[in-house]
Amino acid sequence: MRTQVAIIGAGPAGLLLSHLLRLAGVESVVLESRSREHCEHRIRAGVLEQGTVDTLNEAGLGARMQREGLVHHGIELLFERKRHRIDLTALTGGRAITVYGQHEVVCDMIAAAVEHQQQLYFDVSEVSLHDLTSDKPWIQFTHDGAVQRIDCDYVAGCDGFHGVARESIPADALQNFERIYPYAWLGILAHAAPTCDELVYAHHERGFALFSMRSPEVTRLYLQCRPDEDLAQWPDERIWAELHARFENDEGWLPAVGDITQKGVTPMRSFVCEPMQYGRLYLAGDAAHIVPPTGAKGMNLAVADVRMLSKALAARYREGRDDLLAAYSATCLERVWRAEHFSYFMTNMLHPSFDDTPFINRLKMAELRYVAHSDAASRMLAENYVGLPFRD
């Protein structure tokens, strides 16, 4: 098999890259170790920055998102029993966020890939990358019991934190930066109509809580918990009691109670590898960086990566330019580190620490008050939350 760009991973990064390359007239093949059904039903967060929404629309992938996505013009910070609204749209010159599940984005991309007859292989195994520092890299994999080979010009590693792409780079060629947080999120999906039109981030002495939604009928909620939390110790009744305790406020607002259809514990990690390229291998999305979910940056960073990579590859094939490919890592890392800092800021501010001194928790509360009442601080949060403009 021969193609111009071989893409490892059929998550949002790999699928979007394939679409953007097709629009630029560049051939690609996508390899995915999981089944199509798994990819289309794997539930992940779905807060899309303005730039992500614009990118999907420009690529012709946003029709269903425009119909079913929930556009939010603000978020709320809840602390000391008071709700404080951050007006994202007013503070950012009209920008907003859209709540639309990551699996829905993946479904839309796979449907479009099938429609346009893009080469997409699910359920592949034994993937190995070869000759990455040459001008003729190749990939070997097994599909339907047969060993196959792809010869290509470039490889895009979009296969996540545990994927084969980053592991194919010699350890001495990468520098890894990581922070493991001392808490996690217990997340649930519930069949309950959202009782608020916007996301609510709650700081409470018992721990952080987040109110979100997936649709007009489904609520998504999170509780701060231990990384080693035993879900067996969290029956539905305890979850709802804890949520209501952490969302307590003077206005009497609370999430609606409904049947819980999914529970899970999400660990909190920050991770960045530098550089994001090695020879003719380019890393994108979770293969190169992880952010804690508090800042809602994970999928948005992946979109920013492949937006840049698609432009760099298009310039290479259309104009014979290599400068954008050479600058790929440095260009992406500037945005990555800004998002890492914002995610750290949100995570640190909103999660009370039970291991630190009361002094540290008082500092966090002081920062919350400042963000809620200062126009300058509110604008900083809003600009980062809706996503900084792309520097095209």
The helix/strand/coil state of 76 is: strand
Token digits of residue 350: 């909103």
As a whole number, the mean pLDDT across the chain is 96
In which residue are the tokens 């500092």 written?
363
Q: Is the pLDDT of residue 13 over 90?
A: yes
Contact 246, 204 (CB under 8 A): yes
Residue pLDDT, tens place only, 193-234: 999 999 999 999 999 999 999 889 999 999 999 999 999 999
Q: Is the pLDDT of residue 391 over 90?
A: no
pLDDT at position 214: 87
Token digits of residue 74: 């603000």
Q: Is the pLDDT of residue 43 over 80?
A: no
Contact 8, 164 (CB under 8 A): yes
Q: How confident is the model at residue 255 (pLDDT cuts 50, 70, 90)?
A: very high
pLDDT at position 355: 75
Q: Residues with catalytic annotation? A: 72, 201, 293, 297, 385
pLDDT at position 66: 96
Instruction: Give, in degrees to the nearest 5, the angle at Cα 161 between 160 and 164.
Output: 75
Q: Tell me the mean pLDDT in the region 115-131.
A: 97
Residue pLDDT, tens place only, 347-378: 999 999 887 788 999 999 999 999 999 999 99
Residue pLDDT, tens place only, 312-354: 999 999 999 999 999 999 999 999 999 999 999 999 999 998 8
Instruction: State phi, psi for 31 to the nearest 5 degrees.
Output: -115, 135
Identify the H or E element spanning 222: strand 218-225
Residue pLDDT, tens place only, 292-309: 999 999 999 999 999 999
Q: How confident is the model at residue 141 (pLDDT cuts 50, 70, 90)?
A: very high
Q: Is the pLDDT of residue 44 over 80?
A: no
In which residue are the tokens 């111009």 written?
4
Cβ-based neighbours of 391, under 8 Å, separated by 6 or more = 331
Q: Map out the domains of the chain with their CATH numbers.
A: 5-73+95-177+269-353 (3.50.50.60), 181-267 (3.30.9.10)
6 pairs with which residues across the strands? 29, 155
pLDDT at position 281: 98
Residue pLDDT, tens place only, 52-66: 999 999 999 999 999
Token digits of residue 332: 């992406």
338 burial type by CB count under 10 A (0-12 exposed, 13-18 middle, 19+ buried): middle
